[in-house]
Structure 1
Amino acid sequence: MKLLNIIRITAVLFIIFVATLLLFDRWVSAQTANQIYHDPAKLPDYNVGLVLGTSKYIAKTLNPYYTYRMSAAVDLYNKHKVDVFLVSGDNAHRSYNEPRTMKRDLLKAGVAKNEIVLDYAGFRTLDSVVRAKEVFDTNRFVIITQQFHCERALFIANHYNINASCLAVKEPRRGMASFKIRVREVFARIKAMIDLFILHVQPKFLGPKEPIIDPLITAPVEHILAPITDQAPIKIIAPSAAIKTISPPPALKTEH
């Protein structure tokens, strides 16, 4: 009889645990629902598009999550919805460099070199989103990734008072593989809540600001208005120097 009671108690506790996880998962989704777009035509124009990195290949097979993100980014660029891309991802070692891979594919698709900014320290979603504000000095941008990832990224952005939206790109339907990813996402959201509300985790690397300046701003120097009262004249940065790409920090290691 004791064994039966233990089994019953364990089953009840397990059900409560799972229900709690699902409740928090749904809460994150509800908090960010009105910030997610599925139709690029309805997306407002943004100067900066943050593309969240992922591996291009999985076991030598092209990763559809990566492909859909890149395709959506290029589509936004061609539709003049985004001017500059901030590509953020892991830079674990020489043979695995998500930002560099994304840059190469964007260049092949016709995106101008000076309209791509690399963030080599986007080890996690939190790092990518917070560094966009703290390092690259942009507080209004659109995130480009799958919907489940959109919801967690926006939840983090909202916590840091970042004005962000997200384009939810196509998500592959791969049966058990998709189910495993979705289950993993539930735990990733719980970890994000712990990081934000309990541990107050910050990005692994922060540094001096490297502001992203829209290269389309090409106002000639002679058109600068004379100073008004005690204000200094506006300094126009040459388009060729407008975008800065930070070099990867030495010997970075990813923490999972």
Structure 2
Amino acid sequence: MGLKQNKGGKRKVMYVLIIFITIMIVMVFVIDKIVSLKTKDYIFDDVDKIPANRVGVVLGTSKKLKNGNNNYYFIYRIQAAKKLYDAGKVSFFIVSGDNSSKEYNEPQDMKDDLVLAGITQDSIYLDYAGFRTLDSVIRTKDVFGQNTFTLISQKFHNERAVFLAQQYGLNAIGYNAKDVNAYYGFKTMAREKLARVKLLLDLLVNKKPKYGGEKIELP
């Protein structure tokens, strides 16, 4: 009798676990779809079709991978920013990324490569505290005083960033940098699904950027 009860109890636990995992998987895919649908009219691939904004925000990523190889997410974002600049669709850039140590400085790396690409130094402003997409978006408003701007990253990242901006009443659009191939970007795409769930949780608890800072005025 005791053995049967033990087996029955294990089955119930197993069923509950399966139901819980199924709900979590469905929730992840539903949230992912909502973010994509809500932002599809504000995301652009064609530089000729995207509306012009005075300010573009290049979202940060590391210049190099951990193995020392080039990070193509970084390279393609620089190229996308240059296209907007050359087409007259953006006049100033905020490069927003992680500068958590002296040895790791995403904003400076982005600025250096933008200058090498032919963008004037006085057109580029550095946000050293863009540790997360949430920080980058909110600091664009709170620190740099911008309510209207163009986000520059890969499509999956732009969707999340534009969705976040919409929740704070900001007039943001996204210009999609070239994406990497499926094999190269598989882990990133998997993390993105979870990042979108985390995004909604951050909104529910009214998450704030890690750092504020003095106001920086753009011309």
Is the TM-score greater than 0.5? yes
8 Å CA contact 1:56–1:67 kept in 2: the answer is yes
- Select the residue among 158, 177, 181 that pairs with 1:173: 181
Equivalent residue number for residue 150 of structure 1: 158
RMSD of the alignment, in Å?
A: 1.3
2:136 corresponds to 1:116: no
CA contact (8 A) 1:138 1:211 kept: no
Match of 2:60 among 45, 50, 53: 53
Encode CA deviations 1:130-166: one digit per residue, 9 max, x unaligned.
1111110111110000111111101110111110000
From 77, 92, 95, the equivalent of 2:100 is 92
In the TM superposition, what is the alpha-carbon distance from 1:207 to its structure 2 partner? 2.3
Structure 2 equivalent of residue 252 of structure 1 = none
Task: Give structure 1 stretches of 5+ with no counterpart.
Answer: 214-256
Mark the runs of 5 or more structure 2 residues left unpaired by the alignment. Answer: 1-6
Distance in structure 2 (CA, Å) of the matches to 1:75 and 1:160? 28
- Cα deviation for residue 5 of structure 1 reads 4.4
CA distance in 2: counterparts of 1:25 and 1:50, whole angstroms = 23
TM-score (norm. length: structure 2):
0.92
| AA partner of residue 192 (structure 2) | E
Equivalent in the alignment of 1:205: 211
Q: Which residue does the alignment assign to 1:190? A: 197
Query: Hey, what does 1:24 align to over in structure 2?
Result: 31
Structure 1 ranges of 4+ moved more than 4 A: none
| Deviation by residue 1:44-77 (Cα, 9 ceiling, x = unmatched) | 1111010001001002100010011000101111
Paired residues, what number? Answer: 211
Q: Which structure carries more helix by proportion?
A: 2
| Matches of 2:99 and 2:20, distance apart in 1 | 41
1:110-141: CA deviations, max 9, x gaps? 11111011111111111111111111011111
**Equivalent-residue separation in structure 1 for 2:27 and 2:198 (angstroms):** 14
SS of 2:191's partner is helix
Identity %: 42
